[in-house]
Structure 1
Amino acid sequence: MAAPRMVGWADGAIAPVYVAVGAGCILLGTGLKEIDQWFVKRGAATESNRTANILGDLNNKLARTINQTSSSQERLETIVSAVQHCTLSLLKPAHHSLRVCIYQLDYDEEQMPANTKPGDRPIEQARLLLVGEPLGRGTDAARAQFKYDDAGKDTLTKILARQHVWCRDTKKRATPGLQEGRSYRSYLSVPILIGGEVEGMLTCDAQVKSDLKERMAPVLRMTAIVAGIGLRQSEVASQPVKPTSFF
């Protein structure tokens, strides 16, 4: 299937943009509008064309990858890497101190709470597992997973509730068990959603706290959509968590 043409910004107008997924498409127009507004607020409206080109390249790479006959794991790794590169490119010029990681939602079948019925997916079982390798600066190891019963509980809970997670200064909001050996000062995480279901998390952290802003969340949400396609294509897509566990 040929990749649909990426339509960018023209005189402030946003045309719907589609990313091909096999025989289907995902509408990305809303996300592009959010990114456009973000650039305008920064006084950098001229960045719009560059952004459209970056997303267009990602769209084309995604279509080629999905149409290849490689294994699902190879497709996943290729898409994850492409999304990470795209995210850093979109956040330019701040990307020199940034790192991007992608996590996949999984469930630990051994962590089965009492009174759990067959087919339930309680939050106690949920975990976010690092996919592939982090991209960007490499000063310290990325967290391998976020679990409900450890220091990653707050992040996991918010992501499962489809909320973004923002920390401006880790030194002012230190989390027990997470601060030691950590070089980054700020981080921003968004849920990876497909069809309203949480598939994982895309997170970005920065050594220089001024290089990462909460208003960058629309950029991360945009590329997180494509990351979700990769997770689905890996043929290990997760089931939605039952909301009664955390709302």
Structure 2
Amino acid sequence: MTTKVSEKITNNLAEIRQQLQILAEESSHGQSVQLLAVSKKHPLEAINAAIAAGQMHFGENYVQEAVDKINQLKGQITEPVQWHFIGPVQSNKTKDIAQYFDWVQSVEREKVARRLNEQRPGNLDQLNVLLQVNIDDDDNKSGLAPEQVDALAGYVMSCPKLKLRGLMTILKAGTTKEQRAHSFQHMFRLYERLQQTYGEQIDTLSMGMSADMRQAVLEGANMVRIGTAIFGERES
């Protein structure tokens, strides 16, 4: 990777962090916002450049690609990087996810939660879990229905190797600003209800990507998932 590309990643991160700080101050919710760098399909050199610029949280969608990166980076970095799995969870991939990741943002079924709990190595901290909500009832998106959140949250809370941290959503493509506002507000109400039930450990509402980051933060998101705006276009 050229020095020019590395500098571009550093500058992009600085610009996005500044935007998030301004948005958090504008938001009526008074939250700080965690930046998750979505590194799927980007090379190790790009991730190293982001780490050098102080980025510690990375999101991956594909298990094998992520495991390869995590293993290769182990000998190269000393910083406490946090890996988030953000793609659909297939039952046959739960063992690797439970072993290699610090967070799973896309839990939508009791079976998946059970397998992650059973397969989380005993020498690791609890696996941080977000429940993925299909807030727009979109046939093209994973996630549970809003009315299913309470039951799955209760199950995850009963799993000793899992730690429920909050909710995640991906909005339907092609919606209007008003429709997005309605969906984000609905998610925030679900998040508040979880907080009322389970207290301070519910601290993460992951919603918003490059295109809708501003609106998501103003409506209460405290984690956004940004890829292209940090790293540029993905390799084909």
**TM-score between the two structures when normalised by the length of structure 1:** 0.30
Bigger strand fraction: 1
Bigger Cα Rg? 1
Normalising by structure 2, we get a TM-score of 0.31
Q: Which structure's residues are more often helix, by fraction?
A: 2
